[in-house]
Amino acid sequence: MTLTAATLDVPGRDNRAAIEKAINLLQAFGPQATAGVGVSELARRAGMSKSTAFRLLGTLERSEVVERVGRNYRLGRRLHELGSHVYAPGHDRVRDVLIPYLADLYADTGETVHLAVLHGPEVVYLAKLYGHRTVPTPSRIGGRMPAHCTAVGKVLLTYAPEAAAEAMAAPLPRFTPRTITDGPRLGAELDRIRAEGVAYDDGEVRPGLACVAVPVMGPAGRPIAALSIAGPAERIDPRALSPRLRRVAAAAAQEVQRARRHAPSRLG
């Protein structure tokens, strides 16, 4: 599906303007839009007239990018399908195999736990279970974060030299005063992680948030994912939690090997 000025019914506008309007409208739905959002509210959020929003929504609805819910609209199935193509096809399988071990980790610690994979110089969160005492974290299922500032990201970069080089060659965004923003310093941190087999985030992505992560190893000594435990630095000791995390990750790695023998093409 290609969005052009003609398909978006915006006469006299070039393709860029039409596509930008459509993207702004889709972004206006926000993360909590399953119940639907009205045309007037979408137009207000996107900074366009109600008539323009209504015209764009009609085109997007015909393409199944949005769908109508009564008098409101919500994001449609076609957008979900397109989004699923962004990530490697094996990620769903990785999540399905490792979810029970994420649940074990949650049951053992009662803290917020994550399952993540590497996507270039970023991490993608495949699953997240919230602890009994929820702590605000920037991670969300399906969301991305720069790998250099997260425990899961750093532990995965350790085994991915091309992605690590890409990360260190680009400007490293700062999220807190503790964020590593220097390439050589990040390289030294990855060397330490490689030697110890565990990564920590000490307020690098959000002040006061502590996290510990280890890889789930797959074939040829390379990880297929990472598991982590996160919580307030004032309450959890990431280093004390690392032995539990290692035990669960080791059991998960054994399951990966068993699953791969049964379906080698579906699991890295």
Question: Which domains, ranges and CATH numbers included, belong to the chain?
Answer: 15-84 (1.10.10.10), 91-262 (3.30.450.40)
Q: Which residue's structure tokens are 């502590």?
A: 210
What are 229-253's pLDDT values in tens digits?
999 988 889 999 999 999 999 999 9
Nearest Cα residue to 147 out of 186, 112, 109:
186
Q: Collect the ranges in the chain with pLDDT lower than 70.
A: 1-15, 31-35, 80-89, 133-135, 262-268
Within 10 angstroms of residue 117's Cβ, the number of other Cβ atoms is 24
Residue 11 is predicted with a pLDDT of 47
Residue found by looking up tokens 């000594």 in the block: 221
Q: Left if phi > 0, otherwise alpha if psi is -120 to 50, otherwise beta: which for 106?
A: alpha
pTM score above 0.85: no
- What was the pLDDT predicted at 174? 94
pLDDT at 92: 80
